[in-house]
Structure 1
């Protein structure tokens, strides 16, 4: 696709939007300008290709298509069937999975669908068989009450939020922490690394129905063969949430025991983040769990977003190329460079480094909270997000950490030297930021004071790097 064709397509699209609501068109233009001018280091963000973006803006958005391929509750879904079939086919081939389900709208939708699918497979199905019931409509109200009790009294063991897990892995305020009798495993207090022996002891004691592996802010790889051994020993279903590192699995950076697909019963993911597709979710599973997952609609989901499923198919197709494998390896290499850059400048990293795409910086050594550091960096054009560290004294809102990710800037073409410079810029900002006070003059976990001229200096240095690696090069909306 030529640059002129892409520019023309987007310029005309914005003209159409502006004819109805010019403020939306202007906000869209400004978002591109802002992304072009900032160092995007949020681990859960990336830049989708023009092909992926354009696929989402089609009349597939107009279709309702509840159900599954060939079994819809609406007529006229033959083209949606084609789209969903292609997306699932590409996902199966990309990850070597027996089954793929591409309807979830997001990562939390994928996890909720997976949880209820496992409950249906492990609890509802056997319960109905023991009760001699073939049709759930035949259940009496008393039977329904018993079944609801059985479904709502199961155990889930997931990684704790401060150790690097996700809200949907059993965090109490999240629905996953309310629908299960949940418990959490953490990391070694000295190293910050997963302790598989301690995890096994906890699993033996707790005996979960579901063992959740995967992470949102753990900067290391996981041995999924060991996780499966633990799950098998206690009779649990192993569910892996690979939303963050799916691109490293697709790109063959994580192979063998670090690839979750051969070991997990069910794998959930998003299609954006390191996979560089549209915002959405998907599920991979063994054939044993496929019938339960296929009931995602109406069990958890409503109408699938057909235009997003189409974009997932395009993104999965892009990820099946040698070019994507090269990109994925650079993501991991650049994370190593970023981590080394921090360490050589005296910064403190959780686990002492990284071997995936995430670098977790403990900013307490700068005398700052995560919220103060995040805000100061944003003032200087460095976009990050605050994150808890193990046993975080500041809790999940203010935090003591900043999470960095390399997928987005790697997409722009940044290499190891540039990421070392990024580390230098970040340390420069944090070293010149002081914790502030509230209106009463008391210490505040939110306010901060950034040194004079620091933001302008860092922004200028960033611009020099960004100009060498333009975002969507050739796309001109003027």
Structure 2
């Protein structure tokens, strides 16, 4: 089993915190991490995140800073921008947003005024909080209207989307979300946005790595703006990017700084540059294809074991399971699977009769396990562990969960986690 990495300075200065870091390293090494928004970054990304770039303040943009001493920082940011533009084939890229939510908020600042109508997928249907949902600032400061998915298929009803867009005339339409197991039809959304006069924003935070690796269609020919985090399937640090057509470049940049943020986190910008470099390699295309292949086989194995999958399966990295037929609530199942060494998250499913904090579903994904080298040949075992774990959750069988955890740890020892190997 991978041992915790040495952190001599941290251990000497703050042994309590060092112990927690070591415990997390051990946990990530020995468990099957299946939260679809998580992944393992490389040692190179980790090292870039911890460099002396942390020491610099750099308000503004390259060549137009409000602080001196930016000779190297400018080059780091320009390198990240150039790599983003080349990898995704976009005209403009801003690599400064601190995370996905501020990136989306910058979009609103660029294209809407408080009180304007905005449109996105409803959170319980698989959308994101920042797509105009009521409890978010985006739903309080703007008038959010939401579309959903068909109850019979779990797929987006584009007739409904078009009807809603033409009726409400939103300034901005978001497509994408956090629990969408199917391919996003960017062209269909673009046609509706053009007809209704809206700016189309593709939030590809979950699938950015799949797009970069050619395993999901790109929104670039269709969307006015692309918002993404840089972790998840892209395997970078916890940051974000906004990409757009050149005509929107000034509005986007002005919204990020000075509209919402001060100085960028230069160490994160450097780590983004590293991740983009890694994503441009041929091996990353193989990784992206394997993520999707693993998810599809895993979905088939779960269906064979009687699980109810939203939309009947997956086209990407993500599977959303409705555990109602199993008579086990999603939260109960997720906590039991965690004790079994399988890390997932409980999640609402479309038209869920249960409350969001105690929903019917569980959301799982294949990015992390694929990063460790697991392939389609392992998915039957993974499905079996999940099946046994959910059954044990319903029966309150802690011995069964402990047995699964031992089996999981044994397999994980054979596939060391990227970034955690000394």
Place the TM-score, normalised by the shorter chain, in its bin. over 0.9
Match of 2:320 in 1: 360
Equivalents in 2 of 1:389, 1:211: separation in Å?
Answer: 22
Tell me, which stretches of 5 or more residues in structure 1 are unaligned?
A: 1-6, 120-150, 435-448
Out of 338, 346, 349, the position equivalent to 1:386 is 346
Out of 44, 50, 53, the position equivalent to 1:60 is 53
Equivalents in 1 of 2:305, 2:215: separation in Å?
Answer: 28
1:258-296 alpha-carbon deviations (Å, 9 max, x no partner): 311211100000000000011101110001110011111
Match of 2:178 in 1: 216
Taking structure 1 as the reference length, what is the TM-score of the superposition?
0.86
Match of 2:222 in 1: 263
Match of 1:298 in 2: 258
Offset at residue 159 of structure 1 (A): 0.3
Q: Map 1:165-314 onto structure 2 (within 5 A).
A: 165-254=127-216, 258-295=217-254, 296-314=256-274
1:341 matched to 2:301: yes
Equivalents in 2 of 1:118, 1:452: separation in Å?
Answer: 53
2:130 aligned counterpart, secondary structure:
helix
1:324 aligned counterpart, secondary structure:
helix
Match of 1:439 in 2: none
2:381 aligned counterpart, secondary structure:
helix
Match of 2:375 in 1: 415
1:419 aligned counterpart, secondary structure:
helix
1:451 matched to 2:397: yes
1:58-110 alpha-carbon deviations (Å, 9 max, x no partner): 11101111111111111111211111100010000000000000001111111
Equivalents in 2 of 1:218, 1:157: separation in Å?
Answer: 17
2:363 aligned counterpart, secondary structure:
strand
Equivalents in 1 of 2:225, 2:116: separation in Å?
Answer: 17
Offset at residue 19 of structure 1 (A): 1.5
1:32 matched to 2:25: yes
Out of 125, 129, 145, the position equivalent to 1:163 is 125
Equivalents in 2 of 1:419, 1:468: separation in Å?
Answer: 15
Taking structure 2 as the reference length, what is the TM-score of the superposition?
0.97
Match of 1:133 in 2: none
Equivalents in 1 of 2:150, 2:209: separation in Å?
Answer: 27
Equivalents in 2 of 1:172, 1:236: separation in Å?
Answer: 20
Q: Indicate the RMSD between aligned Cα atoms, in angstroms.
A: 1.4
Equivalents in 2 of 1:112, 1:374: separation in Å?
Answer: 31
2:357 aligned counterpart, secondary structure:
helix
Out of 311, 322, 326, the position equivalent to 2:282 is 322
Out of 407, 414, 421, the position equivalent to 1:461 is 407
Offset at residue 367 of structure 1 (A): 1.2
1:229-271 alpha-carbon deviations (Å, 9 max, x no partner): 00000000000100000000000112xxx31121110000000
Offset at residue 297 of structure 1 (A): 1.0
State the number of aligned residues. 419
Q: Tell me if the contact between 1:106 and 1:279 (Cα under 8 Å) persists in the aligned partners.
A: yes
1:87 matched to 2:80: yes
Offset at residue 473 of structure 1 (A): 8.1
Q: Tell me if the contact between 2:29 and 2:420 (Cα under 8 Å) persists in the aligned partners.
A: no
Q: Tell me if the contact between 1:92 and 1:98 (Cα under 8 Å) persists in the aligned partners.
A: yes
Q: Tell me if the contact between 1:103 and 1:304 (Cα under 8 Å) persists in the aligned partners.
A: yes
1:350 matched to 2:343: no
| Consecutive aligned runs of 4 or more in structure 1 exceeding 2 Å deviation | 472-476
Q: Tell me if the contact between 1:80 and 1:306 (Cα under 8 Å) persists in the aligned partners.
A: yes
Flag the structure with larger Rg: 1
Tell me, which stretches of 5 or more residues in structure 2 are unaligned?
A: none
Taking a change above 3 Å as real, the CA distance of residues 407 and 452 of structure 1, as seen in their structure-2 partners, is closer
Out of 12, 36, 53, the position equivalent to 1:43 is 36
